[in-house]
Amino acid sequence: MTLEDIKSPFDGSVIGQVPVASLKDVDGYLARAEVGAKLWRNTPAHVRSAIILKAATIAEENIEELAQIISGETGKSLVEARAEASRCGEIFRLSSFEGSQLYGSTLPLDANKGTGLDKLGFTLRQPVGVVVAISPFNYPGLLVLHKIGPALAVGNAVILKPARTTPLTAFAIAKYLKEAGLPDGVLQVITGSGSVLGDALVSDPRVRKVSFTGSTVTGTHIASIAGAKKLSLELGSSCPVIVMDDADIEYAADAVALGGYINAGQVCISVQRVIVHEKVMANFLDALKPRVEAIKVGDPKSADTKVGTLISEKEAIRVEKSIATAVGEGATLLTGGARTGAIVMPAIVCGVNPKSAFAQDELFGPAIAVSSTTGITDAISIANDSPYGLGAGVFTKNMDTSIQAARELDAGSIHINWTPLWRADLMPYGGLKSSGIGKEGVRSTVNEMTEEKTIILHGRSWQ
């Protein structure tokens, strides 16, 4: 296989090389995965757990190494990369535990008319076999771990296809697993172009599960060609946050100044649309603007940089153009938006038409679209007027408003008095509508990576 350079989005320096697989290589990966799946499925759960737990320890001993790799290939600040790297061991640990909890249930068959005590029925949960895991660039550690941790812990073999721009983190994580004792063939990392390799990996009948995180466009294509197999799709979004007139404005401004700009806004649960009650609009913007302007942006490796680059200059140009188009359509740029290379300064765009592309399409960049509302019912209707439904947040002190929002907002996660940019690795996590199907979060992923059989023992009556 030929090799390709992986470059820093900040300064273009080469930080590593990876092989470029071609279509003719895919069959070899699948054949090895089938062998790996058989071996791993027949390995007792306590042995699998011990290996995953050891990988957790190794990941924790190498947080700084992993953080440097993550920051190097994504351009995110070292501060953010360290936070990401420090969660990797924990996801392994949660996976090791949840993967050993494959309980089933006993079926009360004699409660079914015509069935006696001569039969015993129960359910048995087992690994699906070969899993193809496809991950995006924005959290190359966390989003890989959320797939492979539970998949391996329950006994599957995995072919991992990381984003073309960020494969080095995936190789580092695979190395920790190998050092921990994971047998050959149980995890393989395949690198190269998703559009070249994707169809062959996803549609092959030897693959029993595709776990994909990425854009809605790619996810929809995968769903159309995968065939009859288990599918999890964690897709795009345009997350809303509602700020009501009874909210703690300073607190809401603190939260939005984080949630809209972490990882340069390249987070599926990033705050994109901020829907503010008209009575507190001026106060909210007065509180938000200095906080956003205080975000230190620049060289990802500088100790005081909070937000680094976007994944590429091309993406930064796309975001810059989106802001310019919104302003051209009548919105106001309150602050930010200037671009240098792959860096875009954190921006607040006010007076955005909620139906415009700037609000409706996923921005995946460091800018928020502010629009106004007259009350909670109107705000929920604006928030729900989106093809997406991943996360939402509401700032209010009113219990009735909170309950109405929890019941009526169409989003996979709803945060009362915080923004959607918050995740505990064990919580169920996934979107409604075009934001996806299935759930991640370690326990949920264990379910998604296994299947249940019903076993009936047919005895003869002794009565």
Point out which residues bind ligand NAP (CB under 6 A): 134-138, 143, 161-164, 193-195, 198, 202, 213-215, 218, 221-222, 234-237, 268, 362, 364, 390, 431, 435-436
**Strand duo 207-213 + 339-340: pairing:** unpaired
Q: How far is it, in rounded angstroms, from Cα 131 to Cα 463?
A: 47
Q: Is 278 annotated in the active site?
A: no
Q: How far is the CB of 231 from ligand NAP (least distance, A)?
A: 12
Residue 21 Cβ vs ligand NAP, minimum distance, rounded to whole Å: 10
CB of 352 to ligand NAP, least distance (A): 19
- Name which of 237 and 305 has its Cβ closer to ligand NAP: 237
d(CA 319, CA 361): 11
Q: Which two tokens stand for residue 323?
A: 């802001």
Q: Which is nearer to ligand NAP, 122 or 422 (CB)?
A: 422
Nearest partner of 395 among 370, 410, 376, 372, judged by Cα: 376
Counting beta carbons within 10 angstroms of the beta carbon of residue 395, is it exposed (0 to 12), middle (13 to 18) or buried (19 or more)?
Answer: buried
Q: Where are the beta strands (DSSP E) in 198-259?
A: 207-213, 230-234, 239-243
Q: How far apart are CA 309 and CA 8, in angstroms?
A: 10
d(CA 435, CA 166): 22
Q: Which residues pair with 189 in a beta bridge?
A: 160
Q: Which of 451, 428, 425, 452 is nearest to 146 (CA)?
A: 425
What single string gives the DSSP state of each residue in 88-148? HHHHHHHHHHHTT-----EE-GGGSTT--TTEEEEEEEEE-SEEEEE--SSSTTHHHHHHH
Q: Is 350 a catalytic residue?
A: no
On the CB side of 188, CA atoms within 13 Å amount to 25
Which of 98, 234, 320, 440 is an active site residue?
A: 234
Q: Smallest gap, in angstroms, from Cβ of residue 132 to ligand NAP? A: 9
- Comparing CB distances to ligand NAP, the nearer of 99 and 167 is 167
Give CA–CA dist 289/294, Å, rounded. 9
- Residue 62 vs 444, nearer CB to ligand NAP: 444
Which residue among the candidates 268, 315, 362, 440 is catalytic per the annotation?
A: 268
- Minimum CB separation of residue 363 from ligand NAP in Å reads 10
- Rounded to a whole number of angstroms, the minimum distance from the CB of residue 136 to ligand NAP is 3
The residues carrying an active-site annotation are 234, 268
